[in-house]
Chain A
């Protein structure tokens, strides 16, 4: 169960670079425990901190206007690289609930939906316009719109991801509603492909 996502209004922090990989989002060395929490301090650690781990004033999330930003604007292929879900957990724990980019790594996008973070796809030019706009922007997931001042952009999202985000749904519970169907399928499959089922 993740926090349901319906609407969100926030300033949007621009980090418009292509190929922001999960190691930039949270470096491997910041994943200090086996759990899912305590990761916000490691978010963008390589960029956010100087060598002595004091804040790097040049990094966007350290600038006063964007400290509380719940929306991140990014470039192509956001979340590429390692499949580490810690990238989503760290973003969410820091307070980022939506990332707007021209494209996402598929693994990251799947993780984001499960972690209650909206991976929102808009064209590069629209993102540039959002970055140039003043003040907060609003995301309405049920209506699939992003509003900045008088400008409204529509976005696409697949129905499954949308339903999961809005309901904060746990995918395992949803799937287990079909448990009988899964068991039936496996019974037939066991006859068809017995070699798949190790241990008899």
Chain B
């Protein structure tokens, strides 16, 4: 009867509070420099210790520059303090930090799976909404606030109300050129940016189990854009093969024991969910966002839709005005100013390989600024070993150090106001990539093809 979520949850319940919440054991905590220093400083000011520093980790990703030759200085005003204070606070607390220049530095949600820090059956939290990315390995991973991060650090637990459950089933086979990013955008466009609100969502179905590990991460990454509590996928042979041998993964006899334990991590055939959504994978086409919410996305071949009655007319019109678009206007062929490949959604090695295959010897259109930011230092090294850096730079892309970079605007680098940017990131909110910047989100191959064409187009 139990679903995968029930199993993950039940394995971690320590106690139930008088208010009906559960005290849930937290197996891994990840911090980053944007909020890490604040959480650790506040904990220290209250005279509290980190309960188990060996299971807490931190990475420099949000504020650190991604320009070549970077150091503690950043383009974000005041940014250096976030970096130096996080470094000092991690050292004081005994927390392993993947610092600037460290071979394992990168975006937390790229680094953690890469190192085998997140494993099937674990609970993992980070003060970052895209923590759900890591549910792809069959873990329960979710984003929290900094005060909750303090709680997790101090007690090794969180107090939590049991979320409702949902299964999103993608049946069938994806058409060639359709990616996990398109699956996520199709889901959110069909059911709204609040469609998964408060639910723990299991992604399942033949089109999901057919995905490689990195694609599963892209899909789970977008669960937060669906307002889900978290997203995750039952671990299978693909997962176990991918994890085996990673630095922090169990080895030898411990691996065998873990593997035996993980076999049970699947929803029972008669598992019951509070909600279920089924989507025909074959019906999904390459997608692109037209508005200022990921729900405002359509197939690239479609035009800007007319107001359809969900949400408010005013919000629809506001998004159109912000994006400089009109109803019915074609998205394919729209001229772009910039193209960005990066972020915890789509910056892993396979993302860069697929984008590179699209570029294959061609050049970025004149006047288009194009940037590639590998998700981790390890991804960067692996890409360079294949010569992808040269392929990108020869095409006219900037090749950066790893980090969040221009996925979001921290006050430093940005695309300018009114600039139309096609981006492999997860959020097309107003001013997300800089004040007034118009962001269209899409898969890395769509971004690459559009950079070459100078206009929005599918790969």
Contact = CB atoms under 8 A, between A and B. Distances in A.
Nearest to B51: A182
B144 A107 contact: yes
B135 to A, nearest CB: 15
B410 A114 contact: no
Interface in A144-200: 158-164, 171-172, 174-176, 178-179, 181-182, 185-186, 189, 193-200
A34 B37 contact: yes
Contacts of A106: 163, 197-198, 227, 229
B78 interface: yes
B298 to A, nearest CB: 18
A27 interface: yes
Interface in A72-115: 75-77, 80-85, 88, 103, 105-107, 110-111, 114-115
Closest 5 CB pairs of A and B: A160-B19, A199-B54, A29-B411, A195-B250, A111-B145
A48 to B, nearest CB: 14
A19 B35 CA distance: 23
A24 interface: yes
- What is the predominant secondary structure among interface residues of chain B facing chain A? loop
Contacts of A88: 145
Contact of B145 (A107, A163, A196): A107
A133 interface: no
Interface residues of B, number: 78
8 contacts: A18-B311, A21-B429, A29-B409, A77-B194, A106-B197, A107-B143, A175-B157, A193-B121
Given A110-B148, A186-B156, A17 B314 contact: yes
B253 to A, nearest CB: 10
Contacts of A114: 145, 147-148
Contact of A197 (B35, B41, B55, B81): B55
A interface bracket (residues with beta carbon within 8 Å of B): 35 or more
Interface string A14-28: 000111010110011
Contact of A33 (B18, B78, B121): B78
Contacts of A23: 408, 429-432
Interface string B290-322: 000100000000000000000110110010000
B429 A81 contact: yes
Nearest to A80: B227
